């Protein structure tokens, strides 16, 4: 395949950027210990979640980084479309389609959460906030994150099919992407059977962890794979 150096270079730095921003987002997310729900360590909030402002901005900082992480994820998925063989572009396009769904859902969830909830509380406009807040385990925010990370796993599943069996690293990438999807499905089924509709944010935490581990791992491996292609391209042009 006659590969364009500029496209490969862009794909390489996109993969590296995705890894970095995902790690940073995860670090800030780990600081946001849930003050409500099943993983609350103590002194927990309950409906109608009147103490939301006590945890602002600590529990909201990670969402700013998450927005950039979603941007980087979409760019990463698209860049893979242009670095794969023409015979695999059906799968890369399907991956892009689900990435667009993922980004739409998650961007709305995050932007609304840090733009609407804290300011509404500051102004005393508390009606309906219980349904919107991230601390409500069966609220809209958790539901949107569940959907967003399910579709992210599906996008990764389709992405796996663009990596052929030509090299060991491509086999590893494909395996990780498929295993990530299987783990997501297993987690959803497990928590749904055990807790029914009252699974709270248990699945959300599992889905984020699975997808972010997959994202970091795949970002590193894809950057290595593209780096080898760039080296081959440069050697061929000298």
Q: What is the pLDDT of residue 231?
A: 86
pLDDT band at 221 (very low <50, low <70, confident <90, very high): very high
Q: Where are the domains of the chain?
A: 5-237
pLDDT band at 237 (very low <50, low <70, confident <90, very high): low
Residue 86 pLDDT > 90, yes or no?
Answer: no
pLDDT, mean of residues 189-193? 96
Residue 238 pLDDT > 70, yes or no?
Answer: no
Report the percentage of the chain scoring pLDDT > 90: 79
Report the percentage of the chain scoring pLDDT > 70: 97
> Are the C-beta atoms of 153 and 211 separated by less than 8 Å?
yes
- Show Cβ contacts of residue 200 under 8 Å, excluding neighbours closer than 6 positions: 37, 38, 137, 138, 142
> Are the C-beta atoms of 23 and 62 separated by less than 8 Å?
no
pLDDT band at 2 (very low <50, low <70, confident <90, very high): very low
pLDDT, mean of residues 16-38? 95
Long-range (24+ apart) CB contacts under 8 A made by 52-61 are: 52/117, 52/118, 52/121, 52/129, 52/133, 52/135, 53/118, 53/121, 53/122, 56/118, 56/121, 57/118, 58/31, 58/32, 59/32, 59/35, 59/134, 60/32, 60/113, 60/114, 60/118, 61/28, 61/31, 61/32
- Any idea which residue has 């050697």 for tokens? 235
Tell me which residue of 182, 163, 227 sits closest to 190, measured CA to CA. 182
């Amino acid at each position: 395949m006659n590969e364009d150096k500029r496209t490969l270079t862009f794909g390489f730095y996109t993969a590296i950027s995705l890894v970095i921003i995902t790690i940073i987002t995860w670090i800030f997310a780990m600081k946001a210990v849930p003050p409500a729900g099943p993983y609350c360590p103590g002194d927990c909030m309950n409906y109608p979640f009147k103490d939301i402002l006590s945890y602002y901005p600590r529990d909201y900082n990670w969402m700013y980084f998450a927005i950039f992480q979603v941007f980087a994820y979409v760019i990463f998925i698209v860049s893979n479309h242009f670095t794969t063989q023409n015979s695999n572009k059906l799968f890369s396009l399907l991956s892009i389609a689900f990435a667009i769904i993922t980004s739409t859902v998650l961007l709305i969830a995050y932007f609304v959460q840090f733009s609407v909830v804290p300011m509404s509380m500051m102004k005393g406009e508390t009606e309906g906030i219980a349904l919107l807040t991230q601390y409500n385990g069966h609220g809209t925010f958790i539901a949107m994150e569940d959907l967003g990370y399910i579709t992210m796993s599906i996008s990764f599943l389709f992405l796996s099919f663009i990596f052929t069996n030509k090299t060991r690293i491509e086999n590893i990438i494909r395996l990780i992407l498929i295993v990530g999807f299987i783990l997501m499905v297993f987690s959803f089924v497990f928590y749904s059977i055990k807790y029914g509709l009252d699974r709270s944010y248990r699945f959300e935490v599992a889905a984020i962890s699975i997808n972010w581990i997959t994202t970091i791992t795949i970002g590193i491996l894809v950057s290595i794979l593209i780096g080898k292609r760039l080296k081959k391209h440069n050697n061929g042009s000298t």
